[in-house]
Amino acid sequence: MASARVNFSVGLFMTAGLGLATLAIIWLGMTSFLRKGELYVTYFDESVQGLNVDSPVKYRGVPVGRVQAIRIAPDYHLIEVVILVDDEHADDEMRFADSVAAISNVGITGAMFVEIDKRTPLDGPTPALDFTPEYPVIASKPSDIRKLFREIHDIAA
């Protein structure tokens, strides 16, 4: 009789433990799903290799959000990167009005992130899009790596 009681207690303990573990996994998974903020989009005319969904987005070095999605733009020429800016940084609609986004690397690991900074005269004009974006657009500029390769090509030519 004591054996059946022990087996029942162990089974009940294991069932409760598995239930709590399942709830913890669901809760941890839903925290990023339920994250609120404001969506922006930027379009790159270069490879975004190394940039992944959930990569950080930084404004002048300060983390302000994450990459929500990476896909081919409706014109099949540009790469569309959707950015989710956290609630604490999304209160001002015009925060990124005069800003440009670029892809930057974290270090020698190859991991990339989106760096947003204020526009300078060297950034040039914002190219016009042939389609209507779904979210507010942050203009983009070529990454430092692309600029370097372009300059090497110009010197070689």
Asked whether residue 14 falls in the same domain as residue 46, the answer is no
Asked whether residue 22 falls in the same domain as residue 42, the answer is no
Model confidence at 1, pLDDT cuts 50, 70, 90, reads: low
- Residue 91 tokens, joined: 């209160």
Model confidence at 32, pLDDT cuts 50, 70, 90, reads: low
Residue 107: pLDDT over 60: yes
Asked whether residue 109 falls in the same domain as residue 140, the answer is yes
- Residue 41 tokens, joined: 């989009």
Residue with token string 């598995």 = 18
Asked whether residue 23 falls in the same domain as residue 97, the answer is no
Residue with token string 């239930």 = 19
Count of the separate structural domains present in the chain: 2
Which residue segment(s) compose the domain that 62 sits in? 37-156
Asked whether residue 86 falls in the same domain as residue 51, the answer is yes
Asked whether residue 61 falls in the same domain as residue 79, the answer is yes
Asked whether residue 30 falls in the same domain as residue 80, the answer is no
Asked whether residue 120 falls in the same domain as residue 53, the answer is yes
**Cα–chain center distance at 93:** 19
CA distances from 127 to 44, 57, 69, 139 (A): 11, 22, 22, 8
Asked whether residue 115 falls in the same domain as residue 149, the answer is yes
Asked whether residue 74 falls in the same domain as residue 104, the answer is yes
pTM tops 0.75: no
What is the mean pLDDT of the segment spanning 129-151?
81
Query: What burial class does residue 27 get, using C-beta atoms within 10 Å of its C-beta: 0-12 exposed, 13-18 middle, 19+ buried?
Result: exposed
Asked whether residue 87 falls in the same domain as residue 136, the answer is yes
Asked whether residue 84 falls in the same domain as residue 145, the answer is yes
CA–CA separation, 12 and 18 (whole Å) = 10
